[in-house]
Amino acid sequence: MKYRYRGTRMIDEQENKRKIKVKIYGKEYSIKSTEEPEYVEEIARYVDSKMMEVDRSGNPSNPVQVAVLAAMNITDELFAERNRESKTESNLDERSKDLAERISSVLEPE
């Protein structure tokens, strides 16, 4: 069970969950979440768009295949973004070390 702090008291996140109705791939779902409804709806619209994209490709023959292929596409996007972020962090680390060395060499007494 998830807990979080509110002020000085620990609360059970289950207490704050609300039902949010969303429609994905033509089917309505009732999602329980502590997140804002707008956020959950945005996620649902994204998943729906990815499923429709897969469906338009004409390859899958049933909704489960559509969902699996959409999940694979979304996961590919996530992994690609993580990879870009990791490369950016690595590049920033290298540049920071280089700048720190340059600054040290200028500031050090001869």
* Confidence at residue 7, expressed as pLDDT on a 0 to 100 scale: 53
The DSSP result for 54-89, as a single string, is HHHTT---SHHHHHHHHHHHHHHHHHHHHHHHHHHH
50, exposed or middle or buried, with CB in 10 Å at 0-12, 13-18, 19+?
buried
pLDDT of 16 above 90: no
User: Is-above-0.75 flag for pTM?
Assistant: no
pLDDT at 9 over 60: no
Biggest alpha carbon–alpha carbon distance for the chain:
74
> Does the structure show a pLDDT above 60 at 46?
yes
**What mean pLDDT is predicted for residues 16-44?**
95
